[in-house]
């Protein structure tokens, strides 16, 4: 069965709540065995809508589905099972599905989250206009899916999400292809794509711009208990911009995250290239990263407190961290088998590997790295950033690679160069603390290598 939302009374005036019309169309088509619900060209304001089994919601070119910011029109996500649902945020959700099969969101239209109405800039960073903006109290997620088997999101544009953009919790057999995420790159918590305790996920050909992490793989406590490992994830052929990490794994690491491949992507002026954390006793293992190009840099925080928390990252190409959260004791968890090759990045801070004696990082192999240190932004360097942890942000000279409590580090066939006089980087190539079984050798090159 195929139908349109206008057949159920939705008005393309951008003012009238179309949620009841859209929900009626979805319910009837699903009950009839499934099919396509089309959003024709036009602007449609809507409250929360829950998609059902065997539904394709298709946005025609020129269709704009607008998320309401009225709390009376936005519903909390259905909480099911012990530990509640994946919501964990008073803002609720715009579009989603729970305990469903064969759900598809597709088309050349746009989902507009009105995030431009929830962020404001009081100018706290000394005029640089780079620090995170302040947020309104009510900010719904744009898309939230829990326990969906066979989930597809293709071709749509997601614009100005007020909070997380595409959050998937406990989903299986997922394809996210050719989507565009166009968020405020100073907006807090407006992550692009968030697989949480999901399995068998393909994310490819996407262009993501966000303030928070572009793509972030999580294992939150309730979802890890309910759905098990977050595993078998391939991310390829994407262009990623963020004031935090292009790809982040963690910090929520209550379960297992394993078998992740990131390849053939461009990192476009992020605070960090790839960030891998354990904080909550979980395990991250079997992470492969290859053929990554672009640049990372440091952005201004709230300048009244230079070096203060704000964006996470100070321009690191790769950041791997196993340190407890502030106020916590015991092992942060396990990170092992991290492989990275053919990474070509311009950076402002170290390739950073920081474990602890009771949570060492194990088996890291790096090869064919081409790292160029160059001051690119408005901020001074000379800081290590281990947020969120008791170590926090602190002054430190910037070697090409810093490793602490790493067992089994190999660095091969890799080049580093330094541009600029009087910078805080370049004084040493390698700094190791409490490391064993290491064999890390850089080949230091002149600028001519990069210019020819």
What is the chain's mean pLDDT, rounded? 94
pLDDT at residue 388, as a whole number: 95
Averaged pLDDT, 293-308: 84
pLDDT reading at 452 higher than 50: no
pLDDT(448) > 60: no
Q: In the prediction, which pLDDT does 88 show?
A: 60
- Note the pLDDT tens digit of each residue in 141-159: 999 999 999 999 999 999 9
**3-class secondary structure per residue, the chain:** CEEECHHHCCCCECCCCCHHHHHHHHHHHHHCCCEEEEECCEEEEECCEECCCCEEEEECCCEEEEECCCCCCCECCCCCCCCCCCCCCCCCEEEEEEEEEEEEEEECCEEECCHHHCEECCCCCCCCCCCCCEECCCCCEEEEEEEEEEEEEECCEEECCCCCCEEEECCEEEEEECCEEECCCCCCCCCCEEEECCEEEEEECCEEEECCCCEEEEECHHHHHHHCCEEEEEEECCEEEECCEEEEEEEEECCEEEEEEEEEEEEEEECEEEEEEECCCCEEEEEEEEEEEEEECCCCCCCCCCCCCCCCCCCEEEEEEECCCCCCCCCCCEEEEEEEEEEEEEECCCEEEECECCECEEEEEEEEEEEEECCCCCCCCCEEECCCCCCCEEECCECCEEEECEEEEEEEEEEEEECCCCCCECCCCEEEECCEEEEEEEEECCCHHHHC
Model pLDDT for residues 161-171, shown as the tens digit of each residue: 999 999 999 99
pLDDT over 90 (residue 111): yes
pLDDT reading at 446 higher than 60: no
**pLDDT (0 to 100) of residue 89:** 59
pLDDT of residue 451: 40
Does residue 81 have a pLDDT over 90? no
pLDDT of residue 428: 84
How many Cβ atoms are within 10 Å of 420's Cβ, its own excluded? 11
Q: What does the pLDDT average to over 247-255?
A: 97
Residue range 394-418: average pLDDT? 96
CA distance 273 to 184: 19
Residues 208, 245, 222: CA angle, nearest 5 degrees: 90
Its pTM stands at 0.95
Higher confidence at residue 166 or residue 452? 166
Pairwise CA distance, residues 143 & 6, whole Å: 22
Structural domain containing residue 184: 2-451
Q: Note the pLDDT of residue 441.
A: 86
Mean pLDDT for the stretch of residues 409-418: 95
Per-residue pLDDT of 285-300, as tens digits, reads 999 999 999 999 999 9
CATH number at residue 241: 2.160.20.10
Q: How far is CA 373 from CA 390, 400, 446, in A?
A: 28, 8, 11
pLDDT for 450: 39
Checking if the pLDDT of 422 tops 70, the result is no
| Amino acid 274: pLDDT | 98
Specify the number of domains making up the chain. Answer: 1
Model confidence at 83: pLDDT above 80:
no
362 versus 426: the higher-pLDDT residue is 362
Query: What integer pLDDT is reported at residue 424 of this predicted model?
Result: 76
Q: How many CB atoms are located within 10 Å of the residue 79 CB?
A: 14
- Given this model, what pLDDT does residue 449 score? 43
Residue 268's DSSP bridge partners are 295
pLDDT on residue 309: 67
Rounded Cα distance between 260 and 229, Å, is 12
For residue range 47-65, list pLDDT tens digits in order.
999 999 999 999 999 999 9
pLDDT at 87: 63
For tokens 């081409």, the residue is: 370
Parallel, antiparallel, or unpaired for β 93-107 and 55-59? Answer: parallel
Taking only the tens place, the pLDDT of each residue in 195-239 is: 999 999 999 999 999 999 999 999 999 999 999 999 999 999 999
């Amino acid at each position: 069965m195929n139908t349109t939302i206008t057949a159920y009374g939705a008005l393309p005036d951008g003012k009238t709540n179309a949620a009841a019309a859209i929900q009626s169309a979805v319910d009837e088509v699903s009950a009839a065995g499934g099919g396509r619900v089309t959003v024709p060209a036009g602007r449609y304001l809507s409250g929360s809508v829950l998609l059902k089994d065997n539904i394709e919601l298709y946005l025609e070119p020129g269709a704009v589905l607008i998320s309401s910011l009225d709390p009376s029109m936005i519903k909390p996500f259905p909480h099911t099972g012990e530990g509640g649902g994946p919501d964990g945020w008073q803002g609720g959700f715009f579009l989603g599905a729970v305990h469903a099969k064969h759900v598809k969101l597709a088309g050349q239209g746009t989902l507009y989250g009105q995030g431009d109405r929830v962020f404001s800039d009081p100018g706290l960073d000394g005029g640089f206009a780079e620090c995170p903006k302040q947020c309104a109290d009510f900010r719904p997620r744009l898309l939230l899916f829990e326990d969906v088997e066979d989930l597809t999101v293709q071709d749509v544009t997601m614009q100005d999400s007020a909070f997380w953009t595409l959050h998937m919790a406990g989903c299986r057999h997922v394809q996210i292809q050719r989507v565009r995420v166009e968020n405020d790159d100073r907006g807090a918590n407006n992550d692009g794509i968030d697989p949480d305790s999901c399995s068998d996920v393909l994310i490819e050909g996407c262009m993501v711009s966000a303030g928070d992490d572009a793509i972030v793989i999580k294992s939150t406590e309730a979802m890890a208990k309910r759905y098990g490992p977050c595993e078998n994830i391939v991310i390829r052929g994407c262009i990623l911009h963020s004031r935090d990490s292009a790809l982040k794994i963690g910090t929520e690491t209550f379960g297992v995250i394993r078998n992740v491949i990131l390849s053939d992507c461009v990192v476009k002026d992020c605070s960090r290239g790839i960030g891998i954390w354990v904080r909550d006793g979980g395990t991250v293992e079997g992470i492969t990263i290859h053929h990554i190009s672009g640049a990372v840099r440091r952005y201004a925080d709230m300048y009244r407190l230079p070096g203060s928390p704000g964006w996470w990252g100070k321009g690191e190409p790769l950041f791997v961290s196993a340190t407890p959260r502030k106020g916590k004791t015991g092992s942060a968890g396990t990170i092992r088998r991290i492989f990275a090759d053919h990474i070509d990045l311009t950076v402002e801070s170290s390739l950073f590997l920081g474990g602890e004696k009771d949570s060492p990082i194990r088996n890291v192999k790096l090869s064919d790295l081409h790292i160029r240190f160059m001051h690119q932004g408005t901020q001074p360097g000379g800081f290590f950033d281990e947020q969120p942890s008791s170590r926090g942000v602190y002054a430190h000279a910037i070697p090409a690679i810093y490793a602490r409590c790493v067992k089994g580090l190999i660095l091969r066939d890799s080049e580093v160069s330094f541009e600029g006089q009087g910078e805080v980087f370049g004084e040493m190539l390698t700094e190791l603390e409490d490391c064993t079984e290491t064999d890390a050798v850089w080949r230091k090159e002149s600028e001519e290598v990069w210019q020819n």
